[in-house]
Amino acid sequence: MPTTRHGAKLESQGHRISSLTPTLDHMYEKFKSGPKPASDFEKSVADFMDVLYCQIKELKNEHAQLRDEMLFRNRDVTDSVEELHLSVVKTEQYSRRDTITVVGLEKPETETETNLSQRVAETLINSGVQVTPDDFSVLHRNGRDNRTVRGKTIPPSITIPITEHSSCGRKVAYFGAKGYNYGNVNHPPKDYPNCEVMNQILHKMRDVDPNFNKDDFSCLVTLYPDGRATIPAHSDDENQIHPDSKIWTLSFGATRVIEFVRRTGVLQEFRVPLHNGQLFSMTAKSQSDWSHELLYEPNLPDPRVSFTFRHIVDPPAKSPAPPMLTSAPKPGRKQKILFLTDSVLYSTPEFLFDRVPNHRCIKKRNYYFADVPKFEPDFINSQIVLLSLGINDLSTCSPGRPQKSGEELAAWVSHHLNSYCKKYRNTVFLVNSILHTRHSWLNSEIDTYNQVMYLFAQSIPNLQFVDSHTAITRHGIARRIDFVLDRYDGRGTHLTLDAKKIVARELVAACQSHASSSKSQMMKMYYRNT
């Protein structure tokens, strides 16, 4: 590889481009601590050096940010291409396998897709099949023109893809004093049937849960005729379900397997078989943190019936102007996520937060916790304030002695967050854990800080501790410190792109769960009672 003379010189002195800034800092410090400029010329050289130094630093920051943004975007594009590829493979398999071909249906000049569906449906209905034209919305002719074979006109055949029915083969009945809606499905209120089976089941439910009563709890009865009927991955987290409601499922018939997959952070999944006569319960937390799915078992011929009970409440009324120090978001305006971060995550692109529906992220640089009050005027207009700080408050130039201990920092931060959370009750404060460095003395302070903050956040309804440190330690990259911390950064407080991506995913997921949850409702309840 050709090397310029200048490049060779830099290499030989051990100066890599990536280490230029520490060198520059060092040179600048030396320059500033040298003799004071005497002449006008020396003064203007000193001013010139100041300007150059600031501009180089700014450019370097900008460069790091642009590089990360580009890498994040690249990864996004790769992910989308992979997803598209998978969906093409799926579509191909599906178009080869799950289709019906109809031959011999003549093709009039005036044929359109809609009247073709109509005619196919009519033909099938005449032969005793129960269908409607809507069942064939994507059918098509295999060719445009009729062919003539030995004097006979042969119309092009028709392919009918068998579309997965939205209920995935399930049949449901709903009973309860209040209606229940999810997705496009709308179950109106309906009296429980006064029959032996239902009465016995209700009786059993009261034995199990003393709070159970059929005025509050609704029952969704689902029939899965065989193993091909499923319920796809979902969480029962509609705001019509009481925030503390357990979801009870009573199973009869064939054993089916329910699979849980964690919704955020590191991928975790597990399966539970649901046997005949078994009662299974899920907590609200298992809905917010996990999705569940009844797995497809094409070779299972037997039916299963489940009775699912949920405590249904009236959906929260559209709130009037929120109380206290809050300003209602203007209609049509996106809500704000204020992201205060030190340099560890400063290059996290704001666009990643576009995944939080109806929100936009404004990122601001903040090195020390002591600087947080500068941004207080913005809290009132932010739905989420995300704080990723702390390492600069702990670390110090003389190893072994932090500026503040982990415990001191946690006490100080929690004191301030406590008052912010009370003052800005409609704002959710997310505080990110501090990540490990290359220094064990510092890491033990970090652990203390993280533990105290984790416990503290549990007691404040609009404060959440985002444990991105644990997300990293559970990830494969934790095998080697160089996979997590930037190798060229001796201080060990800068992350590799992989680590940044893991943390960013945690932060975005935490914002997503707050943006969609009924937490603000719970916060109001909490503050009303305190």
Ligand X SMILES: O=C(O)CCC(=O)C(=O)O
Measured at the CA of 53, the angle between CA 51 and CA 58, to 5 degrees, comes to 95
Measured at the CA of 130, the angle between CA 127 and CA 131, to 5 degrees, comes to 105
Residue 513 partner contact from Fe ion, ligand X, none using kind-dependent CB cut-offs of 5 to 8 Å: none
- Provide the minimum distance between the beta carbon of 357 and ligand X in the complex, in angstroms, as a whole number: 22
> DSSP string spanning 115-145?
HHHHHHHHHHHHTT----GGGGTT-EESSSS
Q: According to CB under 5 A, which one of 174, 187, 214, 236 is a site residue for Fe ion? A: 236
Q: According to CB under 6 A, which one of 121, 219, 231, 446 is a site residue for ligand X? A: 231
Distance CA 180, CA 188 (A): 7
State the CB neighbour count (10 A cutoff) for residue 422. 14
The region, left, alpha or beta by phi > 0 then psi within -120 to 50, assigned to residue 203 is alpha
- Provide the minimum distance between the beta carbon of 513 and Fe ion in the complex, in angstroms, as a whole number: 18
Q: Which of residues 307-346 bind ligand X (CB under 6 A)?
A: 308
Residue 220 partner contact from ligand X, Fe ion, none using kind-dependent CB cut-offs of 5 to 8 Å: ligand X
Residue 425 partner contact from Fe ion, ligand X, none using kind-dependent CB cut-offs of 5 to 8 Å: none
Residue 294 partner contact from Fe ion, ligand X, none using kind-dependent CB cut-offs of 5 to 8 Å: ligand X
Cβ within 8 Å of residue 345, ≥6 positions away: 388, 432, 495, 500, 503, 504, 507
- Provide the minimum distance between the beta carbon of 517 and Fe ion in the complex, in angstroms, as a whole number: 17
When the beta carbons of 85 and 271 are compared against Fe ion, the nearer one is: 271
- Provide the minimum distance between the beta carbon of 301 and ligand X in the complex, in angstroms, as a whole number: 18
Q: Which of residues 280-299 bind ligand X (CB under 6 A)?
A: 292, 294
Q: According to CB under 6 A, which one of 220, 391, 453, 472 is a site residue for ligand X? A: 220
- Provide the minimum distance between the beta carbon of 506 and ligand X in the complex, in angstroms, as a whole number: 27
Q: According to CB under 6 A, which one of 218, 240, 287, 306 is a site residue for ligand X? A: 306
CB of 281 closer than 8 Å to CB of 291: no
Residue 493 partner contact from ligand X, Fe ion, none using kind-dependent CB cut-offs of 5 to 8 Å: none
- Provide the minimum distance between the beta carbon of 204 and Fe ion in the complex, in angstroms, as a whole number: 20
Distance CA 197, CA 5 (A): 90
230 binds ligand X (CB under 6 A): no
Q: According to CB under 6 A, which one of 117, 218, 222, 518 is a site residue for ligand X? A: 222
Question: Rg (Cα) of the chain, in Å, rounded?
Answer: 31
- Provide the minimum distance between the beta carbon of 286 and ligand X in the complex, in angstroms, as a whole number: 11
Residue 158 partner contact from ligand X, Fe ion, none using kind-dependent CB cut-offs of 5 to 8 Å: none
When the beta carbons of 217 and 465 are compared against ligand X, the nearer one is: 217
When the beta carbons of 274 and 421 are compared against ligand X, the nearer one is: 274
Written as six digits, the tokens of 52 are: 């150059």
Q: According to CB under 6 A, which one of 158, 219, 229, 274 is a site residue for ligand X? A: 274
The region, left, alpha or beta by phi > 0 then psi within -120 to 50, assigned to residue 444 is alpha
Residue showing the smallest CB distance to Fe ion in the complex: 236
Of 356, 325, 285, the closest CA to residue 510 belongs to 356
Q: How many residues in the shown chain lie near ligand X by CB under 6 A? A: 11
- Provide the minimum distance between the beta carbon of 256 and ligand X in the complex, in angstroms, as a whole number: 7
Distance CA 362, CA 349 (A): 10
Q: Is residue 362 helix, strand or coil?
A: strand
- Provide the minimum distance between the beta carbon of 274 and ligand X in the complex, in angstroms, as a whole number: 6
Interhelix angle 20-33/40-97, rounded to 10 degrees, is 160
Containing H/E element for 220? strand 217-224
Distance CA 63, CA 478 (A): 27
236 binds ligand X (CB under 6 A): yes
219 binds ligand X (CB under 6 A): no
Distance CA 317, CA 335 (A): 20
- Provide the minimum distance between the beta carbon of 434 and ligand X in the complex, in angstroms, as a whole number: 38
When the beta carbons of 46 and 313 are compared against ligand X, the nearer one is: 313
What sign for the dihedral angle of Cα 411, 416, 422, 426?
negative
Residue 250 partner contact from ligand X, Fe ion, none using kind-dependent CB cut-offs of 5 to 8 Å: none
Q: Which residue has the tokens 């005949």?
A: 276
Q: Which residue has the tokens 């959370």?
A: 421
Q: Which of residues 240-269 bind ligand X (CB under 6 A)?
A: 249, 258
CA 6 to chain centre: 48
When the beta carbons of 304 and 500 are compared against ligand X, the nearer one is: 304
When the beta carbons of 44 and 186 are compared against Fe ion, the nearer one is: 186
Q: Which of residues 28-47 bind Fe ion (CB under 5 A)?
A: none
Scanning 267-380, the segments in alpha helix (DSSP H) are 284-289, 376-379
Residue 306 partner contact from Fe ion, ligand X, none using kind-dependent CB cut-offs of 5 to 8 Å: ligand X
CB of 459 closer than 8 Å to CB of 416: no
Note the residues at the interface with Fe ion (CB under 5 A).
Answer: 236
The residues of the shown chain that bind ligand X, judged by CB under 6 A, are 220, 222, 231, 236, 249, 258, 274, 292, 294, 306, 308
